Amino acid sequence: MPRLLVRRPSPLLAEGELTHLDRVPVDADVALAQWRGYVDVFRSRGWDVVEIEPADAQPDGVFVEDAVVVFGDLAVLCRAGAESRRGEAPTVAAAVAASGLEVAEIVAPGTLDGGDVLKIGRTVYVGASSRTNAEGIAQLRALLSPRGWDVVDVPVTKVLHLKSGVTALPDGTVVGYAPLVDDPACFPVFAPVPEEHGTAVVVLDEATVLMSSDAPETAAAYRQRGLEVVTVDVSEFEKLEGCVTCLSVRVRD
């Protein structure tokens, strides 16, 4: 059974970090309701949901994808590029330690945010962004290369994280909103989407993706490709440069 690691949003969510967007009001109560709806999608499809201990003093703690990345039976604990987010790490580390996975860690001076990591087959694309530095990428490559993963670094300057700009469909096609992608040629197959919030998909299974409800044209395009598309409202998280991928860590059998 696939597992989902999540953490409920902090009441301080509106104070979260921003890099490329202007700050607008965020409703923490609406965000909590949206988060519950997001988690319910996975529960309804048989995922085992594991809630990480709340971190209410950490405004960005809900974005658990940034704290750990799972590669098969290896969990890599990240070191946040934003110093304000490093307080999220201990509770995530405790949850990962209890998971039975082998654990490795990115250490100083390396920084790595999980939102900069896109896995397609045995290739790992890592965004060289404002949050992930060359040393962090080098440490990740040293961990993964002996395990048969190919680590490819790609430039990210137009969005917060690599997966703010691109994700991948079940067949490996990379999708993104072209104006926010530094170099689409980095990917073997790239398909542009018509809406900014259509860039992020979570693969639920080989025929199904989860995405934001704020990109209906993109959802229609994915359905035309033969995919089942499940949409959720994540507007409060999108105001903070978040998306459907950021809110969970997916651990697949």
161, 186, 197, 243: which is the annotated catalytic residue? Answer: 161
Residue 114 neighbours by CB under 8 Å, 6+ apart:
65, 66, 67, 68, 69, 78, 249
246 has catalytic annotation: yes
Relative to beta strand 48-51, strand 190-192 is: unpaired
Q: What is the DSSP string of 7-69?
A: -PPPTTGGG---SSS------HHHHHHHHHHHHHHHHHTT-EEEEPPP-TT-TTTT-GGGTEE
Please state the φ and ψ torsions of residue 11, each to the nearest 5 degrees: -60, -20
* Gap between the terminal Cα atoms of the chain: 6
Residue 74 neighbours by CB under 8 Å, 6+ apart:
101, 102, 103, 104, 143, 144, 147
d(CA 103, CA 92): 12
Q: How many residues does this entry show for the chain?
A: 253
197 has catalytic annotation: no
78, 197, 243, 246: which is the annotated catalytic residue? Answer: 246
Residues marked as catalytic? 161, 246
